[in-house]
Amino acid sequence: MLLALLLIPTLGAVAAYFITHHTVRRTLLVATAVAHAATVTATWVAPPAAIWGGWLQLDALGGLFLSITSGLFLAAALYSVGYLGRENSEARRDFEEGLLFANAPEATFTSCLLLFLAAMTLVAVSHRFGLLWVAIEMTTLASAPLIYFHRHHRSLEATWKYLLICSVGIALALLGNFFLAVAASDHGGQPIPLVLSELIGRASELHVAWLKAAFLLLLVGYGTKMGLAPMHTWLPDAHSEAPSVVSALLSGALLNCAFLGILRVQQVCVAAGQGAFGQDLLVGFGLLSMAVAAAFIVGQSDYKRMLAYSSVEHMGLLALGVGLGGVATFGALLHAVNHSLTKAMLFLVAGNILAAYQSKSTADVRGVLRVLPASGVLWVIGFLAITGTPPFGLFVSEFTILRGAFDQGRNAVAVAYLALLAVVFVGMASTVLRMAQGAPGGREQNPLPAREPALAIVSPAILALLVLVLGLYIPPLVRHAILEAARALG
Amino acid sequence: MTGWVDTALVLLTLTSLLLLGSSRLTRCIRIVAFQGVVLGVLTVTARPTELSLRILMLAAAIVGLKGVTFPWLLSRVLRDAAVRREVDPVVGYIGSLLLGTLMLAVSFWLSARLPLPMPAISGLLVPVALFTTLAGLFLIVTRRTALTQVLAYLVLENGIYVFGVGVVQGTPMLVELGVLLDVFVVVFVMGIAIFHINREFDHIDTDQLTALKDWTA
């Protein structure tokens, strides 16, 4: 079953590269996404056996992140059918600077999209640290061409930054893996294999100094990919220049995968009795990320960048939650689910707004509610959800993290957390509500489309519904899965 | 064989320092190529008792990729791209060299703080690995052109590789190959990106000219 999870998107990617007929290829994309999601659902019913001597296995934590990824990919695949229909391969004029550019061939795009899914699946099921590293590196390589879909120089610049900064991060993570290997080398005896269960089982034999150094390097390395400040500098560029479907996947799925990399080492640290060391660092990076994001969200003039910074904020929130420990860990994992659903939905809606208004500047977009009624409503709903307003899921998870902070008696952290959330709320509210209301008007009065294509609305609407449901009622199955995953983190 | 290992490690340190003070791109490419060859030598001499076909193949792959293929690719980019032949550093050459010596000191200090739990093949190994990594990081931050950033990235990878080959025993072949392959693909993709950047920013057509006027107005 694990092999099937990996093979479905890989084979789909190979096939998509060679199919020349647009309709067939788009059908294949959706079919692959459906097949992947169905297989992931099946793993909930019947947990798959470990293969390759425990290198690949699916535990509660991996299963949670895999489910988020697969679900989001399905939503994104549905959306991208409509998106690719609009984006033909002819040369087009760039709306920001008026230069001519062409999109990358659709076959390459679809193929990379599916490879991206395969790489993220591998991240979720890797229990060997070296393999996990290779998988995370693969996600970078598969997604770089996606960011460079629109071949103009701004997206090129964003891709370059993404490749370079993430590659440096991943290189440091490799050094972290080597440090971990040193920590696991037994005195003269047999070294402990870098498989998660072995490391946890024999955690007391690890060399503490090297383990700490390894954690630090892996945190910085994977934290770069996850978008923790101050290593987040690639993120706003990549998220704002990539096609909206890709931004949704980057924000909702990829950042989580990098977080999983950090959580895996944290698991080892907890088992070795060094959990507090990792937790303190996570709290620090978490608060710093939230603060940096808040500073850039207020007065942000590009709404896709605003969403990107919001991702930096929420990644900080996840790190903070896990760093606080206890009930906050549960809150953080629940928040990962909620954030992914909401942020993906917001990026998809932003794609609709961008398509209609042809501008990413918040100053140019007015009256979304009247011009694009469905997208407008979703845009406002998404804003309310992402800022943690009840009754949406993020309210519950953010509140749980807050409770965790008070439980631990860390009142200063709790106050800082609340203050930053408030700043972000105000910052986003002024931008989003100004865009939604008012008289319609785009730059140079572009002819705005009379109605929105159904395919552009279905995916975000379903995601919005899910976030709402999670706010009102967490199904026992989901609660159990998150509890199991949280238990793995001590 | 420790003599060989120490020689290789000293050569690595010297080449990194040389790179910090070099101004011409062709020269930088040659220095990085030389580092690749030294890494190959280090791979073979690091564990003479465990010398096997596997190690020899790995060393050959290292020399082939880092010593020959990458430098060749990068010199081709340099030739085609008609970019400026000089490095344009944020920190000057003298400053870079001084900071380089400082990084070397920091590396020795750090490795003294982190004693290896097992006997090392050379006392120089950990400090040199850390120094090469730091030098790579420093170069990425302070050199501006895409080409020099790729070179700096290679130096960073070299440092990490030194640590891996000297300290970590029993890494399975799969991971070793994965590492090599990743480096290869990264440099390959970066090479393509450099090519696009060059094409994108160098070609001039009328559309671009009106846009620029529009933009400044």
Contact A167 B186 (CB under 8 A): yes
Query: Band of the pLDDT at B205, cuts 50, 70, 90?
Result: very low
Q: Which of A163, A198, A212 to mutate to test the interface with B (most CBs of B within 10 A)?
A: A163
The answer to whether residue B212 scores a pLDDT higher than 50 is no
Contact flag B164-A178 (C-beta cutoff 8 Å): yes
Q: Do B117 and A134 touch (CB under 8 A)?
A: no
Judge: A171–B210 Cβ closer than 8 Å, yes or no. Answer: no
Query: Considering only CB atoms, which chain A residues are within 8 Å of B114?
Result: 209-210, 213
Residue environment code for A323-336, b if the CB has 16+ CB neighbours within 10 A, otherwise e: bbbebbbbbbbbbb
Cβ within 8 Å, pair B160-A131 = no
Distance from CA of A186 to the nearest CA of B (A): 8
For residues A106 and A85, give the distance between their C-alpha atoms in angstroms, rounded to a whole number.
10
Q: What is the pLDDT of residue A120?
A: 94
pLDDT at A322: 92
Confidence band (pLDDT; 50, 70, 90) for B209?
very low
Taking an 8 Å cut-off on Cβ atoms, the answer to whether B172 and A187 are in contact is: no
Measured between CA atoms, how close is A209 to chain B, in angstroms? Answer: 7
Chain-chain contact of B207 with A99 (C-beta, under 8 angstroms) = yes
Does A49 contact chain B (CB < 8 Å)? no
The Cα of A151 is separated from the nearest Cα of chain B by a number of Å equal to 9
Q: State how far the alpha carbon of A269 is from the alpha carbons of A106, A211, A227, A317, B200, in Å.
A: 44, 7, 22, 21, 47
pLDDT of A196 strictly over 50: yes
The strand pairing partners of A56, in sequence order, are A51, A126
Cβ-Cβ contacts under 8 Å, A141 against chain B: 182, 185-186, 189
pLDDT of B217 over the 60 cut: no
Q: Which residues of A touch B118 (CB under 8 A)?
A: 185, 187-188
Q: How far is CA A105 from the centre of its chain?
A: 25
Confidence of residue B184 (pLDDT cuts 50, 70, 90): low
Is B177 in the A-facing interface, judged by CB distances under 8 Å?
Answer: no
Q: Among B199, B200, B213, which would you mutate to test the A interface (most chain A Cβ atoms within 10 Å of its Cβ)?
A: B200
Residue pLDDT, tens place only, A92-134? 666 666 666 777 788 888 999 999 999 999 999 999 888 899 8
The whole-model pTM stands at 0.89
A163 in B contact zone (CB under 8 Å): yes
Q: Answer yes or no: is pLDDT of A317 > 90.
A: yes
Q: What 3-state DSSP class applies to A51?
A: strand
Mean pLDDT of B17-45: 89
Q: Shortest CA distance to A413 belongs to which of A425, A429, A402?
A: A402
Q: Cβ of B196 and A156 within 8 Å? A: yes
For residue B203, the model assigns a pLDDT of 42
Å between A33 CA and nearest CA of chain B: 26
What's chain B's average pLDDT? 77
- Please report, for residues A5, B2, B52, B68, B158, the alpha-carbon distance to residue B43 in angstroms, rounded to integers and kept in the order given: 37, 12, 11, 16, 12
Task: Say what the alpha-carbon torsion angle B44, B47, B50, B54 is, to the nearest 10 degrees.
Answer: -30
Cβ–Cβ contact B167 with A under 8 A: yes
A14: three-class secondary structure by DSSP: helix
Phi and psi at A103, nearest 5°, equal -80, 160
Which pLDDT score is estimated for B208?
Answer: 38
Cβ–Cβ gap B214/A98 under 8 Å: yes
Closest to A68 (Cα-Cα) out of A352, A458, A397, A481: A481
* pLDDT band with cut points at 50, 70 and 90 for residue B56: confident
Q: Which residue of B has its CA nearest to A135?
A: B178
Tokens of B172: 């399975």
Under the banding of pLDDT at 50, 70 and 90, the label for residue B84 is: low
- Considering A75-79, A198-202, B66-70, the range whose residues carry the highest mean pLDDT is A75-79
pLDDT band at B125 (very low <50, low <70, confident <90, very high): confident
Quickly list H helices, B21-69.
25-46, 53-62
User: Which residues in chain B (105-134) have CB-CB distances under 8 A to chain A?
Assistant: 113-114, 116-118, 133
Question: Which of A384-393, B43-52, B187-196 shows the lowest per-residue confidence on average (mean pLDDT)?
Answer: B187-196
| Contact call for A182 and B214, based on CB within 8 A | no
Residue A171 contacts B where some CB pair is shorter than 8 Å: yes
pLDDT over 90 at A2, yes or no: no
Average pLDDT over residues A31-60: 87
DSSP string of A219-251, one letter each residue: HHHHHHHHT-TTS-THHHHHHHHS-HHHHHHII
Amino acid at B23: S
Q: Are the C-beta atoms of A259 and A218 separated by less than 8 Å?
A: no
ipTM of the complex: 0.84
Mean pLDDT of the region A476-488: 89
Q: Residues 389 to 448 of A: which have CB under 8 A from any B CB?
A: none
Contact A175 B200 (CB under 8 A): no
Half-sphere exposure of A268 (CA within 13 A, CB side): 33
Residue B216 binned pLDDT confidence (cut-offs 50, 70, 90): very low
Is the pLDDT at B178 greater than 70, yes or no?
Answer: no
pLDDT over 90 (residue B215) = no
Q: What is the pLDDT of residues A325-372, one digit of tens each?
A: 889 999 999 999 999 999 999 999 999 888 888 888 888 888 888 888
pLDDT band at residue A448, thresholds of 50, 70 and 90?
low
Q: What is the pLDDT of residue A96?
A: 63
User: What is the interface size between A and B, counted as CB pairs within 8 Å?
Assistant: 95
| A287-313 pLDDT, tens digit each | 999 999 999 988 888 889 999 999 999
Name the percent of chain B lying above pLDDT 90.
Answer: 19
8 Å CB contact of A141 and B196: no
Higher pLDDT, A94 or B35: B35
**B209 touching A (Cβ < 8 Å):** no
Contact A141 B172 (CB under 8 A): no
Q: How far apart are CA A121 and CA A68, in angstroms?
A: 11
Residue A191 has pLDDT above 90, yes or no: no
pLDDT, average across residues A168-196:
83
Residues of A in contact with B186 (CB under 8 A): 137, 141, 163, 167
Share of chain A above pLDDT 70, in %: 94
pLDDT band with cut points at 50, 70 and 90 for residue B214: very low
Tell if the CB–CB gap between B190 and A187 is shorter than 8 Å: no
Which residues in chain B have Cβ-Cβ distances shorter than 8 Å to A171?
153, 156-157, 160
Of A223-237, A392-406, A425-439, B203-217, the one with minimum mean pLDDT is: B203-217
DSSP string over A262-276 = HHHHHHHHHHTT-HH
Top mean pLDDT of A276-280, B56-60, B118-122 is at: A276-280
* B58-80: average pLDDT: 84
pLDDT of residue B211: 33
Tell whether B140 lies on the interface with A, counting CB pairs under 8 A. Answer: yes
Say whether B140 and A168 touch across the interface (CB within 8 A): yes
Answer whether A144 sits within 8 Å of B186, measured CB to CB.
no
Taking the C-alpha atoms of residue A126 and residue A184, their distance in angstroms, rounded to an integer, is 18
Contacts of residue B55, defined as CB under 8 A and 6 or more positions apart, other chains included, come to B43, B44, B47
* Closest-CA residue of chain A to B204: A99
The pLDDT, as a whole number, for residue B88 is 67
Q: Does A174 touch chain B (CB under 8 A)?
A: yes
Chain B CB within 8 Å of residue A141 CB = yes
Distance CA A147, CA A126 (A): 25
* Chain A residue closest in CA terms to B148: A164
CA distance A174 to chain B (A): 7
Instruction: Report B:30-59 residues touching A (Cβ under 8 A).
Output: none
pLDDT band per the 50, 70, 90 thresholds, residue B204: very low
